[in-house]
Structure 1
């Protein structure tokens, strides 16, 4: 399933094997920035071979209706500037999934993440027919909290020592949106 969603500031599309090298460049540019809120990766992760395998796996996951991962691209340059996924898709009795995203540090504060989350949320509710979409976010990640709140997600709670990031257990807020709120 090849996905393409057009926005005003960006577009989202399924990644292809040919995108692996550009994904490596995105990951390397943001290695330190993203490691603030995500676990650090081994050096081998930043290779075209590993990224090709991750793209192959995402294609398989989409075919199995488990996960939909796409690249976030800048309109003017067609440059890969982030990625976003609807993942852990659960069918009845839940009809839910999680949304997760990362934006190139050079592009934060421009509304791109907000637009990408809106596009993926619409996909989740309109095409996947989900009832609920959830997100986890570090209490320290003010930008991401703003993105979720601007797109209509509500904070439902705090998950204590939820994620092990770079040697520490970190709390995360739990956000969600129900289809009726969309």
Structure 2
């Protein structure tokens, strides 16, 4: 089932569409923001060409069979404003695992968009990708994202020590997950 493109996903207030090269400038601007970079392993790109080098394999992966990854731009439904990106990495094996991520423009933090988005990604994992488990990694000091993951019912399963290379330092990461049969209110 995870071989085809997901052209558009909606929530109450958001639209997610697979990224294209036309999204390069918005994604570049997002990655330039120090608040977004704080827990981002990519680092702040020096040029737009560096962002394009990051984006090109993401776009090429859209034609892979089976699909192992997805990346969507996130826009507000009522204004079509770009507010961030979200994605999935799939195990493509008998373990039926998927890992979600999201990065939002700080101007839109505090409005419940990350929670709304993360809930939709969890539902997508179970209903579209037929996953057994949806996971997320989060830097141990990223309290905003930790709050989102706990709010959507994910359980902290463990600590991965010094796994995230951020600005020349190895940072600890919490491992969160939710199972298909865990209780959810969404």
Q: TM-score, normalised by structure 2?
A: 0.86
CA pair 176-48 structure 1, distance change in 2 beyond 3 A: closer
Contact 1:72 1:82 in 2 (8 A): yes
Structure 1 residue runs of 5 or longer lacking an equivalent are: none
CA pair 55-164 structure 1, distance change in 2 beyond 3 A: closer
Contact 2:163 2:173 in 1 (8 A): yes
Equivalent runs, 1:1-182 vs 2, <5 Å:
1-28=5-32, 30=33, 32-39=34-41, 40-44=43-47, 49-50=52-53, 53-61=56-64, 63-92=65-94, 94-181=95-182, 182=184
SS of equivalent residue, structure 1 residue 90 = coil
- Structure with the larger helix share: 1
Q: TM-score, normalised by structure 1?
A: 0.88
Q: CA deviation at 1:19?
A: 2.1
Measured against aligned partners, the alpha-carbon deviations of 1:5-39 in whole angstroms (never above 9, x if no partner) come to 211221211122322223223333x2x11221113
Contact 2:131 2:180 in 1 (8 A): yes
CA pair 79-51 structure 1, distance change in 2 beyond 3 A: farther
Q: CA deviation at 1:42?
A: 3.9
Q: CA deviation at 1:45?
A: 5.1
User: Would you say how many aligned residue pairs link Structure 1 and Structure 2?
Assistant: 178
CA pair 76-132 structure 1, distance change in 2 beyond 3 A: same
Root-mean-square deviation (Å): 2.0
